[in-house]
Amino acid sequence: MLQSATDHEPTPVHRGRSDGRRRPGAATSEATRLTAESIGILGLGAYAPERVMTNADWAARVDTSDEWIVSRTGIEERRFAAPGETSVDFAVAAAERALADAGLAARQIDEIILATDTPEMYSPDTAAFVQDRLGAREIPAFDMAGSGCAGFLLAVDVARSRAREGGKKILVAAVELISRLMSWEDRETCVLFGDAAGAVVVGPGARAARILAATAGTDGNKAGILGLEAGGTRVPFSLEAARAGLHQKVVMHGREVFREAVRRMSEAATTVLEQAGVGLADVALVVPHQANRRILDAVARRLGLPAEKMFSNIRLYGNTGSASIPLALTQAREQGRFRPGDLVLLTSFGAGFHWAAMLLRF
């Protein structure tokens, strides 16, 4: 039985435990240059809301069935935000758990990077609200938006290189609250998604895991196959666009997304294994972006990975976008699916198309 991150009492965050005297930016001015290998994950945590939306709930609203959804995606239920809950609430809940896991207070963090396609508002970015709510110092805090389900690993990769300069401790959060922004009438997309958030602290040391290798790539030629067009300069918000439902229209060419997701997640996984000079047999667990069950099965087949080494929580959480890897990784650790010393491979794919993979040693 997979457990929700909400099943566990978060460890209290000891605000104010740090000296609080360090100047913002002091970490960079110290200009200590570390090697990539000295940067790791210091803590992780996740948050999934209480409210469960089942396939039967969807079948009562749109022309679909439990049988169709399960056979195509493996999803039986997903979590949706409660009315009034917003992206910042999610991100802060996950961040507090990651900070507690890292044994850090919010004031000890030197930077915040937040990946999301469902921000708190159009401007300013979600990271600004998170900095304030956490009680962090006046540090750099910014969003990496629009890279879909690959956003989390891209943000960790950026954090990893920024942490090398001066040994910064960087909070990376990923949050998706897509139930608030998607169309509840488009059966081709609405049944796929769930809401969640996850976070890690990246910095010198390897309190939770060492980052052994990372890769990322983009094929912007496929930008039209998956995305949400309205709201930018190409299709600005307007009454006409809203009447046509464009503000909620997730464009998704399902079969092409399927093909590309399998190919890119497999290739990125192979690349990080090669970079680290290890084989797939050395890996204890693969934690992929939870796109859908059939995609994960196809990636496992293509890699030659035994099914039990492919972690999935898709049945109970659906596709939670950029939050899916930190949510799945946190749950896999809670379930004892890997032990200290084990290699864990993360691989992701999202709108853009972007892809990224990372190899960790816990």
289 classed as catalytic = yes
Considering the complex, what minimum distance in angstroms separates the CB of residue 178 from ligand ACO?
10
Token pair belonging to 187: 């059966």
Considering the complex, what minimum distance in angstroms separates the CB of residue 240 from ligand ACO?
26
Catalytic residue among 289, 292, 313, 354: 289
Q: Which of 195, 191, 260, 192 is nearest to 225 (CA)?
A: 260
Q: Which is nearer to ligand ACO, 29 or 221 (CB)?
A: 221
On the 0-12 / 13-18 / 19+ scale of CB atoms within 10 A, 199 is: buried
Q: Which is nearer to ligand ACO, 167 or 350 (CB)?
A: 350
Q: Which of 286, 260, 261, 262 is nearest to 273 (CA)?
A: 286
149 classed as catalytic = yes
55 classed as catalytic = no
| CA dist., res. 143 & res. 149, Å (int) | 14
| CA dist., res. 267 & res. 260, Å (int) | 10
Catalytic residue among 149, 190, 313, 354: 149
DSSP strand E in 169-231: where? 170-176, 196-204, 209-218, 226-228
Considering the complex, what minimum distance in angstroms separates the CB of residue 294 from ligand ACO?
6
> Which residue's CB comes closest to ligand ACO?
254
Q: Which is nearer to ligand ACO, 45 or 350 (CB)?
A: 350
Q: Which is nearer to ligand ACO, 142 or 258 (CB)?
A: 258
| CA dist., res. 259 & res. 267, Å (int) | 12
Token pair belonging to 56: 């039967």
Per CB under 6 A, residues contacting ligand ACO are: 64, 68-69, 72-73, 149, 187-188, 191-192, 226, 252, 254-255, 257-258, 261, 291-292, 294-295, 319, 349-350
Considering the complex, what minimum distance in angstroms separates the CB of residue 288 from ligand ACO?
10
Catalytic residue among 190, 292, 319, 354: 319
Contact 262, 298 (CB under 8 A): yes
- Among all residues, which ones are annotated catalytic? 149, 289, 319
